[in-house]
Structure 1
Amino acid sequence: MAELTPMMQQYMRTKEEYKDCILMYRLGDFYEMFFDDALVASKELEITLTGRDCGLEERAPMCGVPFHAVDGYVNRLIEKGYKVAICEQMTDPAESKGLVEREVLRVITPGTVIETAMLDEKKNNYLAFLHSDRDVAAMAWSDLSTGEFSVRTFAIADGWENLFVNELFCLQPAEIQASPYMAERLKNIEWPRQIPALHIAPEEDFTDPEARKALEKQFGRQPLEELNLSDAAIQCCWAMLHYLYQTQKRSLKHFGRISVQGDQSYMVLDMATRRNLELTETMRSQNRRGSLLWLLDKTQTAMGARCLRGWIEHPLIQQKPILERLDAVEWFTENLMLQDELSAYLKKIYDIERLAARIAYGSVNARDCLALSQSLAVLPEIISLLQEAPVTLIQTLCGRIDPFTEVTDLLNSAIAPEPPISVREGKMIAPGYNEELDELRAASAHGKEWIAALEASEREETGIKNLKIGFNKVFGYYIEVTKSNLAQVPYRYVRKQTLANAERYITQELKEMEETILGAEEKSVRLEYVLFTGVRDYLNEQVPRFQQTAKALAAIDALCSLAQVARENGYVKPDIDESGVLDIKRGRHPVVEKTLSRQQFVPNDAYLDQDEGRLAIITGPNMAGKSTFMRQVALIVLMAHIGSFVPAKQAHICLVDRIFTRVGASDDLAAGQSTFMVEMHEMAEILAQATSRSLLILDEIGRGTSTFDGLSIAWAVVEHICDDQILGAKTLFATHYHELTELEGRLPGVKNYCVTVREHGEDIIFLRRIKRGGADRSFGIQVARLAGLPEDVLKRARQILKRLEEADINNGSIGANILAAPGASSAQIDLFVPVQAAPESNPVVEQLRDMDIGNMTPVEAIGVLYDLQQQVLEKE
């Protein structure tokens, strides 16, 4: 019976350990894939599928990629959700007597990517782990490329699943692993399409009795007792760390601390709010351009961009840190020349945070060290600029920036100005750094000079003018003579190789010099690698310092970005307090005004409080600006909570604990939910989670169902929100149910506002101005005309509208009826009025229409009138 060859047996043993991965198996200059892996990879990577004799009757399917270009192929597989195991040759094939030893050095998964080319520099790449016991759900997440390691717990109570999924949606992890118990708990959750599917990790990874000790060993500088972590959180953190150990197979020193997150530290924003306010991407196209992040991001470093993104996704809810950020932004806006100089220095700084991760990871190369050296060189200048700033936050951040003078000196003396990418090729250590290395380089250089002199000497002695001395890795140094000059070759030349047009020779003298030169070069390359690893080990000891400095620089960069945006767009510093009053003068939508111009955008005031003006009912036609106005209020409030200046003439912003939005119409057919169902589901979540300190943005509640059902729901929602014994939240409520305007004066805290328009014949002009009072109609037919509906449809719509208005469908006042008889049903308030079909054409009418009265004589007119009368009488 046929059996596999020894090499394929080795492959199969390795594959057995990594069944869930595509195994890239190093064979010479290629990474090869076999059997099912080859079938998958050839399809996904669009590469040729071949075969290889493996000892069986049939050839094994095989495909491969060049080792020097493997990152691009791995990236494509990772983007499609696959795991890739990299199996390297551990012994030199030329020196191996038997089978070349091979070992998997790393497993690359979507959540464990560290290569720069495979990462978005302005976004974190998170791996998330989920676990729970009976009382607590835990979520741990990490970014291998930056060293971030965080955990958050959720009490198992009503609504915890929504908070859990919202946090995942915010993180946008590249990979999610869950314990079997947690996966079972979440099996009925409707996952957003942007979140990857759950992978179930082994149960034993979440039940390790030594988990606490293992974490203490990793995070030794941070006592776990101070974090007060639950057992579920401990097991979740350990499972994630264990997974990283298993896949990366090396020390993870850059994970130096656990950050514990919670509701008390930042504002929780649900998925609908993030989507509707377009915080990091637009709703329609999921593009960064057009989002709030796109507007605010003027950062100079990748670290600063990631920091600013984190601030937008996690607004602060405590007054003191918000005011500290605002003071820092204000100082930068007032010191334009200093900020410009600071930005110029920041522009020279590479991604220190991810460089530190690669140092700890052991994958840093000489070019990375050169980038680090150039980055550290400007830090003393940044410290000098900021150390006298009279602002608490800037002083704190400046104090966390290490000048790294000794590290810069080391890198400048050790790393060559233009090093290669590979650390195995030499030429990466600067001259003068090591005496022995300089001597070896001198020997190699002198040997090459001797080779050049020998070539000139041999030409003169033999008389062969085109004789040359060359080198290749297979034969070493050789003397090459064209065949037309072979008669002049001396007897001391020993033939080495025959070519089509030339012969290659070697001499004893050349062979001895080859050994001297190549020996020096080989020793030089080996010594350079030893010296470089010494530099890398020294840098590895500085990783915590690098990380602290990187965090401080990122925050400074983010603050400068906010200051630049504020200065360029005329933003103002908001007042922040706990008064419960929201008062915005001439507020503007930050993104919309950027796409227009400040002269075109119409600013508006907004006022909400906890008493007489807690709920604003906003009426007016579609496209008039209601939604833009409400979104701009929400964005101004959110911007103030991240410490940003805001687009307004003046802004007094009270602290809010949550911002909720229910805006727009959309369905979720994949989940079997209609537009109205989605609307009601989102509304239910808002009413369940909002508090009196929340800000609610509600648009067209109840429009997805019949008129009376929708009006009833909208009416009840308003009553529920206005009742300060139940909710009492500050709310902007846009609606086309004009009957709701009757609630002002009937319910406490309700005020009416409308968007002004100007009528011009059958057209309307949107003035985009919000004023007190309610609109009496929605101008729907005029808006439909602007949208391009056919004229016959518009004409018929006007006829129907006129008949409905003549029938007095409101029966005096729907609002009065509801208030007078709260139990009245739709049957008791009959809105249905049958509409008759348009009359057929009448010949009398047609004749009248066609008559030219101006050219008739009196006698002719009397005659025509008589004929018309007779026609009418005959029909009767």
Structure 2
Amino acid sequence: MAKKEKTPSQTPMMVQYQKIKDQYPDAFLFYRLGDFYEMFNEDAIKGAQLLELTLTTRNHNSDNPIPMCGVPHHAVQNYIDILVDKGYKVAICEQMEDPKLAKGMVKREVIQLITPGTNTEVGSESAKSNNYLTALVADTSNHKMGFSYADIATGELKAATLADSNDLINEVMSLKTKEIVVNSTVSATILDQLTKIGILVSHQEEVTVKAETSYLMQGLENKIQEKSVSLLLTYINVTQKRSLAHLQRAVSYEPSRYLKLDHYSQYNLELTQNIRTKKKSGTLLWLLDETKTAMGARLLKRWLDRPLLSKAAIEDRQNKVKVLLEYYFERSNLQDELVSVYDLERLAGRVAFGNVNGRDLIQLKTSLQQVPKIKHVLDTLETPEFDEILKSLDPVEDVAVAIESAIVDEPPMSVTDGNLIKDNYNDQLDQYRDAMQNGKQWIAELQASERKITGINNLKVAYNRVFGYYIEVTKVNLSKLPEGRYERKQTLTNAERFSTPELKEREQLILEAQEKSAALEYTLFTDLREKVKLAIQRLQKLAQVISTLDVLQSFAVVSENYRLVQPQMTQNAHDLQIVQGRHPVVEKVMGRQSYVPNDIRMDPQTSILLITGPNMSGKSTYMRQLALTVIMAQMGCFVPAESAKLPIFDQIFTRIGAADDLISGQSTFMVEMQEANQAVLHATQNSLILFDEIGRGTATYDGMALAQSIIEYVHDHVHAKTLFSTHYHELTALEDNLSELRNVHVGAVEKNGELVFLHQVENGPADKSYGIHVAKLAGMPEELLNRASDILSRLEEENQGKTISAVTEPRKQLKINEEAQEAEKPTTVNEDEQLSLFSEKSVDPKSEKVLTDLKTLNLMSLTPMDVMNLVNKWQQKLGK
């Protein structure tokens, strides 16, 4: 879509087209020509390919014909949606005057630029999700970033201050934004990161916030947030070119005020997207969504993205869920009323944009008429938990009454063709309608009269838009017409059409009444729309209250259906006790009878559970169910267990599953180390860490050394509640040296040579690995399995007595010299200290080489893995 050079042979229309196109070089220009939107040049070539249109040419007889394709104006939205969904921008260029009245070229201009982040026309399924447009500015002086986002359809507007690119990526991934607006302050490195994850980067340098939107920034916390919101509002004004009265005042938010889940954790835990199918089905959102309104569904997703940290706020939601759970019939009545509530947030946006139609207003009226019924349901609960919600339920009765009195019950889609306003609403309109009705009656009487005068029984008086009213007579009956009475108007194959002076006069009166009636109806409609526009803020507040009610009733339904219980929440207490906990999504898929529940118990003195057991036994499920239980609880929902006592966690970190980051060219092991590093660096004692099979992506010694050192670091420095599953059974020995670590395992038994998973988590380490048994379950060939068993037996026989075990002694030495290490000062242990680690018995010749190595060894410069390799080497030399 590069700029095309103007040539001398260009027609005036193409000159106009190119001038407009040059203003929007990065967008498809939909140029209105009559009943079509046309694309030319490179837009046409690429558009025809993307939209599967026929590519033609303009001036095809010239030496350089112009590529061209088009779409019908009445179906344009579908084509716009296709392009925008693919990440493109579309500029809509309309005719700004009537071609019949224009002198010279018809004036045209772009009335809207539709982009991935500004598209407000969504389908029914997409209506359950927000479409966020984001903006970013950087402050190099203090290394902070101003970040903001808005949903143009609903009016939501928020801003935050971010510390680094990790925070930024977490935010944009969580919001699932398709487009971000930046200025020159944002570095190329960050722009590259955003582009790699598939976000459209739009540039906006000039900032000119209009007076009517400047108040939206009042109350922001700092200048960097104001700059970000200013950039965002400028871009919205430039692209949308219409009223933004529904945008709400910007709210500052701090990501740290909510339970933090980085995008890795959200992905690994399948909160909103199934890892395999990329769909909603099979996710926590899928389980929790029993909402009855689109705006309730969106709020549920926002709550899922940002669980709470405040004990009081969490318990407030849970107590409301408890009431709704206990009052079954009242909850059913509430659901019945919510079903008839349409999307108030998006309806308010359409009113502000000026593209609301009669059917939208009927939906608004219907929604408002449910509010008194909803208030009545809440009144019957007779509990204080819903007092604040009751006070906030404003039925906006004046708007409902105004719509009821003005708009017909079944209005047409068009707002300019009439038949929209009720009778007796406006005296002038009633007069026009009376004239039209009388005129039509006169036409009917004229037809009867003419048939009687001429004796032509099939004579008819009719109307079309081109020729107006006419008298039609078939050719076989033309001889029956009296001379001089009729004026020929049109000749058809089998008939002639005529008019009379009386018919012309009446036609003028009727058409004038029709035209004035339609114009007056549109004026009355726009007046009503402006009245509704004054109530936008009230409608938005009402939408927030109804959305909250919808999510709370959804929690109550889910809690009843899946036997969830209210957890006991504790602040700053590290006691975690879950009795018969379950993974709610897995249980829903498998069925209640098939799922095996498990306890998860971690008292204040236990920070790490080291989980062993065979593959497919349920270790990952056990870990995930704890994370989902925590998220559900801090959202304000009940949890899947017989009983639960939970601390309030500030962050959740996960390293579950294996995945390459192909975009960044990073291997599974690199991704694993990065995710583990996020936890090690940023977790606190109030965090939850889930590590599944850390170290499996590299060699055995490397992997086990890393796994052990990570466990020790978390144990000694972080003290976060940690579930660490592993196949390195040697690590279970750490329980003897790490006071806050406890071994548990997932049970499995062999019956007649077959492996049976018990899916029951028990205290203590697993007794053995079952890798070959799992391979058998996977359907491996019998010959292959037999060979594997033979190789395993030989390896066990050859290495009998040489089992690798966890290294504990070097850790003690390292801990003694921790201060020296932190200061990065090399510390050398003298030979006497080195030798004191071993027996002082006399040295035999076999040991001389080992002692020589020890004398030259700088122990403090070695990693645990190096120590393990050396010890193994010495044991072999000593024949032990």
TM-score (norm 1): 0.90
Which amino acid counterpart does residue 155 of structure 2 have in structure 1?
A: G
Aligned equivalent of 2:414:
422
Residue 809 to residue 152, structure 1, CA distance change in 2 (3 Å): farther
Whole-angstrom CA distance in 2 between matches of 1:780 and 1:175: 46
What are the superposed Cα offsets for residues 440-483 of structure 1, whole Å, 9 maximum, x if unpaired?
11110111111111111111211112111121111101111122
The alignment status of 1:606 with 2:597, answered yes or no, reads no
The alignment status of 1:826 with 2:826, answered yes or no, reads no
SS at match of 2:45: helix
Following superposition, the deviation at residue 183 of structure 1 comes to 3.6
Contact 2:217 2:229 (8 Å CA) reproduced: no
The alignment status of 1:662 with 2:675, answered yes or no, reads no
Residue 573 to residue 817, structure 1, CA distance change in 2 (3 Å): closer
Q: How many percent of aligned residue pairs carry the same amino acid?
A: 44
Whole-angstrom CA distance in 1 between matches of 2:8 and 2:751: 90
Contact 1:4 1:54 (8 Å CA) reproduced: no
Which amino acid counterpart does residue 218 of structure 1 have in structure 2?
A: T
Whole-angstrom CA distance in 2 between matches of 1:805 and 1:217: 79
Select between 628-637 and 392-401 the one with higher mean Cα deviation.
Answer: 392-401
Aligned equivalent of 2:727:
736
Aligned equivalent of 2:213:
218
Aligned equivalent of 1:407:
399
Whole-angstrom CA distance in 2 between matches of 1:761 and 1:169: 49
The alignment status of 1:702 with 2:695, answered yes or no, reads yes
What are the superposed Cα offsets for residues 728-772 of structure 1, whole Å, 9 maximum, x if unpaired?
110011000001111112112010000111211221111100010
Contact 2:195 2:201 (8 Å CA) reproduced: no
Unpaired segments ≥5 residues, structure 1: 834-876
Contact 1:190 1:671 (8 Å CA) reproduced: no
Question: How many residues in Structure 1 have an aligned counterpart in Structure 2?
Answer: 814
Aligned equivalent of 1:864:
none
Aligned equivalent of 2:179:
175
Which amino acid counterpart does residue 205 of structure 2 have in structure 1?
A: E
Contact 1:325 1:393 (8 Å CA) reproduced: no
Whole-angstrom CA distance in 1 between matches of 2:394 and 2:264: 41
Match of 1:367 among 359, 362, 375: 359
Aligned equivalent of 2:590:
596
What are the superposed Cα offsets for residues 541-585 of structure 1, whole Å, 9 maximum, x if unpaired?
000000000011001100000100000111000111122111100
Following superposition, the deviation at residue 335 of structure 1 comes to 0.6
Alignment of 1:714-729 (within 5 A): 714-723=707-716, 726-729=717-720
SS at match of 1:656: coil
Following superposition, the deviation at residue 5 of structure 1 comes to 2.1
Aligned equivalent of 2:792:
801
Residue 809 to residue 394, structure 1, CA distance change in 2 (3 Å): farther
Aligned equivalent of 1:395:
387
Alignment of 1:384-783 (within 5 A): 384-387=376-379, 389=381, 394-491=386-483, 492-578=485-571, 579-611=573-605, 613-723=606-716, 726-783=717-774
Alignment of 1:48-63 (within 5 A): 48-53=54-59, 57-63=63-69
Match of 1:265 among 257, 261, 264: 257
Unpaired segments ≥5 residues, structure 2: 1-6, 812-836, 838-863
Contact 2:204 2:231 (8 Å CA) reproduced: no
Following superposition, the deviation at residue 817 of structure 1 comes to 7.7
Following superposition, the deviation at residue 228 of structure 1 comes to 2.1
Residue 599 to residue 119, structure 1, CA distance change in 2 (3 Å): closer
The alignment status of 1:242 with 2:241, answered yes or no, reads no
Following superposition, the deviation at residue 819 of structure 1 comes to 6.3
The alignment status of 1:137 with 2:140, answered yes or no, reads no
Following superposition, the deviation at residue 323 of structure 1 comes to 0.5
Aligned equivalent of 1:27:
33
What are the superposed Cα offsets for residues 809-857 of structure 1, whole Å, 9 maximum, x if unpaired?
5625523686698662325326999xxxxxxxxxxxxxxxxxxxxxxxx
SS at match of 2:799: coil
Contact 1:251 1:360 (8 Å CA) reproduced: yes
Select between 526-535 and 467-476 the one with higher mean Cα deviation.
Answer: 467-476
Following superposition, the deviation at residue 21 of structure 1 comes to 1.7
Residue 421 to residue 812, structure 1, CA distance change in 2 (3 Å): closer
Whole-angstrom CA distance in 2 between matches of 1:190 and 1:509: 72
The alignment status of 1:163 with 2:167, answered yes or no, reads yes
Following superposition, the deviation at residue 219 of structure 1 comes to 4.9
Aligned equivalent of 2:336:
344
Whole-angstrom CA distance in 1 between matches of 2:628 and 2:546: 26
Whole-angstrom CA distance in 2 between matches of 1:817 and 1:304: 54
Aligned equivalent of 2:248:
256
Whole-angstrom CA distance in 1 between matches of 2:368 and 2:874: 75
Following superposition, the deviation at residue 681 of structure 1 comes to 1.2
Which amino acid counterpart does residue 406 of structure 2 have in structure 1?
A: A
Which amino acid counterpart does residue 641 of structure 1 have in structure 2?
A: Q
SS at match of 1:180: coil
Which amino acid counterpart does residue 60 of structure 1 have in structure 2?
A: I
SS at match of 1:181: coil
Following superposition, the deviation at residue 404 of structure 1 comes to 1.6
Residue 437 to residue 372, structure 1, CA distance change in 2 (3 Å): same
Match of 1:198 among 198, 201, 206: 201
Whole-angstrom CA distance in 2 between matches of 1:809 and 1:505: 113
Alignment of 1:18-97 (within 5 A): 18-53=24-59, 57-97=63-103
Contact 1:614 1:731 (8 Å CA) reproduced: yes
State the superposition RMSD in angstroms: 2.0
Contact 2:87 2:200 (8 Å CA) reproduced: no
Aligned equivalent of 1:845:
none
Select between 7-16 and 243-252 the one with higher mean Cα deviation.
Answer: 7-16
Following superposition, the deviation at residue 108 of structure 1 comes to 0.8
Whole-angstrom CA distance in 2 between matches of 1:310 and 1:425: 41
Residue 6 to residue 831, structure 1, CA distance change in 2 (3 Å): farther
Whole-angstrom CA distance in 2 between matches of 1:816 and 1:91: 83
Select between 95-104 and 524-533 the one with higher mean Cα deviation.
Answer: 95-104
SS at match of 2:736: coil
Aligned equivalent of 2:349:
357
Whole-angstrom CA distance in 1 between matches of 2:94 and 2:250: 33
Following superposition, the deviation at residue 22 of structure 1 comes to 1.2
Aligned equivalent of 2:833:
none
Residue 55 to residue 237, structure 1, CA distance change in 2 (3 Å): farther
SS at match of 1:121: helix
Following superposition, the deviation at residue 609 of structure 1 comes to 3.4
Aligned equivalent of 1:786:
777
Which amino acid counterpart does residue 184 of structure 1 have in structure 2?
A: A
Residue 191 to residue 326, structure 1, CA distance change in 2 (3 Å): farther
SS at match of 1:17: coil
